[in-house]
Amino acid sequence: MEAAVAFDDLLARAREQGGVPRHVAIIMDGNGRWARERLLPRALGHRSGMRAVREVIEGAIDVGLEVLSLFAFSQENWHRPVSEITALMTLLEEYITREVGALHDRGVRVQVLGEVERLTRAARDAVERVTRKTQSNDRLTLNLFISYGGRAELVRAAQSLARAACAGQLTPEDIDEEAFGARLYTAGCPDPDLLIRTSGEQRVSNFLLWQMAYTELFISPVLWPDFSRRDLYEAIIDYQNRDRRFGRVTG
């Protein structure tokens, strides 16, 4: 009962303080370490992490976020053992199949961002299914970054601008931050206000390099499978107590 009260208190406090971030991004780290500490296969760590995904989505809805971005699978992850990659692709299919109905019912719009063409055929079909079914929802936008790399995204945007310039559709002088941002995967989404990284690691790991120019960082020691909406609310409350100046002097 005390835990439930504390949980509700954190949610109420986050709501009452005001200034809830519009967009929270999370680097979900620690699945492998969680499994290793329990002498379990890494694949079971990833599977256990799916519970935390559900927890955080529910917490994001309850606290009133507009956008939740989850870094699920990086381009660098393709270099992992084939068995682990196969397990991750299977988990993606399973997650979408199991959760698509609940996500739709809760008003969540799902976007899968990254080099989706590199996924297995079954995983791509699942991605297409969830994005199509939820495309008209507007309560929460859930960005799932899969086969994503920040540097590759910047190169992709630069190539798009170069092609447009070569075709005479714009001049070099037309290229500004707005034009560049419009060619990123996240075009149309506000930049993250808050980045949470779990497992205590203190790096951004090639995630949203352009978009996080002024993002507040919160490092959580909690391994991802153990991360709960309570941890999300604590990070948001910490964010609410910060003074964001965006390079300017105030006061």
pLDDT tens for each residue of the chain, 251 residues long: 345 447 788 999 999 988 999 999 999 999 999 999 999 998 899 999 999 999 999 999 999 999 999 999 998 889 888 988 998 899 999 999 999 999 999 999 999 999 999 999 999 999 999 999 999 999 999 999 999 999 999 999 999 999 999 999 999 999 999 999 999 999 999 999 999 999 999 999 999 999 999 999 999 999 999 999 999 999 999 999 998 766 665 55
* Parallel/antiparallel/unpaired status of strands 194-197 and 23-27: parallel
Q: Sheet of 67-74: strands edge to edge?
A: 108-113, 140-148, 67-74, 23-27, 194-197, 216-219
pLDDT at residue number 18:
86
Domain with CATH 3.40.1180.10 in the chain: 20-148
pLDDT at residue number 7:
75
| CA distance linking residue 98 with residue 115, whole number of Å | 23
The amino acid at 91: L
Question: DSSP alpha helices (H): ranges in 38-149?
Answer: 42-63, 82-105, 121-134
CB 116 within 8 A of CB 124: yes
Q: Which residues are known to be catalytic?
A: 29, 77
CA dihedral 42, 26, 185, 139 (to 10 degrees): 120
Query: What CATH number does the domain located at 20-148 have?
Result: 3.40.1180.10
Query: Whole-model pTM above 0.85?
Result: yes
